[in-house]
Amino acid sequence: MKALRRLAYSTLGLAYALIVFGAIVRISGSGMGCGDHWPRCFGRWFPPMDQPTLVIEWTHRLLAAVTVAMVVLLVAVALRKRAEPGVSGRGGVLRAATLAAALIVLQALLGMVTVRMGNTAWATVAHLLNGALLLAALAATVLRAGGLGGGIASGTTPSRTRAARGSAAAAAIALATVLFGGLTAKIPGANSVCEGFPLCRGSLLPAIPAQHVQFTHRILAFVLFFHVLGLMIGFARRREAPAVLRLVRVAFALICLQLVIAAGMVEMHLPPVMRSLHEADGIAIWLTLFALAWLARFSSASGAREPARGAETAPSPLVPAGTPRGAAT
């Protein structure tokens, strides 16, 4: 399982880089860098690298091909190890890896459709949505392999506790925010129509449709901020599992960083580097909150908490010290 977990981690990291690089393709205007040809670039597998937009788009396609190969390898290794506990069957690594394989095939097809449709806004958002779901499937693969704190799910049954429902809502809001961000970037003028931060030209009521898209994206971001802040406070009070507490704190830190990046990006008139950082952090927030939603279903179901590092269970005052566990009745 250890080797499978490492491979799942590597594949997840590569897929994250692919989605972030896809944002760079969009931000740099390189979506049609290879013309309307797919999967080849201007009819060639290895075109002359004489245009920046061509280089960026071709590199993105190369990264996609490597990611596909890694996902196929992940499924193959899971099949080979399917006899090991936790690999096959319901809740096993193999099912999550197989879902990721199906989603990456769909991602490639959506990439083709996006290019053939001239990178329209809705095709691009659909491509982004499927990419986010691909990351979720790979994150589930890592979690089922015991990574990202997924070990707390061993031998327990998922439960729809208040923590689980709140975390699932946070993940849903994060995904909606990411998708509205992608829509904002593609609708002409929507990304630059709201000067100032956090208000839109100092107004609470945007006047034109492009401003509505941008302002909805901002409202969702602040709803997510306060929702995750509430989760973090509530989880600490209820002493949720350490793995869950770590993830909600990481998510909140990433959201705070995202607000800083967003403010700087708007005030600096949308430099490409800041826009790329904004996209990368947004995807990281979605990924973290998805993992949190997955873990929260198990943190309270087992009725146990992870012991602190180095801590030992105190002996019962009714059992003499040194008595073997299970000897007393």
* pLDDT, tens digit, 9 for 90 and up, residues 202-211: 666 665 666 7
More confident residue, 111 or 168: 168
Calpha distance 132→16 (Å, rounded): 9
User: Hey, which of 13-27, 100-114, 275-289, 290-304 has the most confident mean pLDDT?
Assistant: 275-289
Q: Looking at 31-35, 66-70, 325-329, which range is the least confident one?
A: 325-329
Q: Is the pLDDT of residue 289 over 90?
A: yes
- Token pair, residue 161, equals 């506790």
* Integer CA distances (angstroms), 64 to 105, 109, 147, 276, in order: 10, 12, 24, 18
Provide the pLDDT confidence category of residue 119 given band limits of 50, 70 and 90: low
In the chain, which ranges are continuous DSSP H helix?
2-27, 52-80, 93-116, 121-144, 162-186, 209-238, 242-267, 272-299
81-90, 114-123, 170-179, 186-195: least confidently modelled range: 186-195
Contacts of 277 (CB under 8 A, 6+ apart): 261, 265
Q: Please report the pLDDT score of residue 223 as a whole number.
A: 96
The residues facing 203 across adjacent strands are 200
Q: What 3-state class would DSSP assign to 154?
A: coil
Taking the CB of residue 7, how many other CB atoms lie within 10 A of it? Answer: 21
Average pLDDT value for residue range 296-306: 59
Rounded to two decimals, what is the model's pTM? 0.81
In angstroms, the Cα distances linking 253 to 164, 249, 281 are 20, 6, 11
Average pLDDT over residues 14-26: 86
Residue type, 326: G
What average pLDDT does the segment 153-160 reach? Answer: 74
Q: What is the residue-averaged pLDDT of the chain? A: 81
Residue 303 has pLDDT above 80, yes or no: no
- pLDDT band at residue 294, thresholds of 50, 70 and 90? very high
Average pLDDT of span 64-86? 90
Dihedral, CA of residue 295, residue 159, residue 255 and residue 192, to nearest 10: 120
In this predicted structure, what is the pLDDT of residue 192?
A: 66
- Write down the pLDDT at residue 232: 95
Please determine, for residue 142, whether its predicted confidence score (pLDDT) is greater than 80.
yes
Q: Bigger pLDDT: 312 or 97?
A: 97
- DSSP 3-state of 319: coil
Tokens in use for 321?
Answer: 């010290």
* 8-state DSSP, 308: P
- 320 pLDDT exceeds 70? no
Domain map (residue ranges) of the chain: 1-147, 153-303
The residue type found at 271 is: P
pLDDT of residue 188: 63
* Residue 325 confidence (pLDDT) above 60: no
pLDDT of residue 70 exceeding 70, the answer is: yes
- What pLDDT sits at residue 312? 36
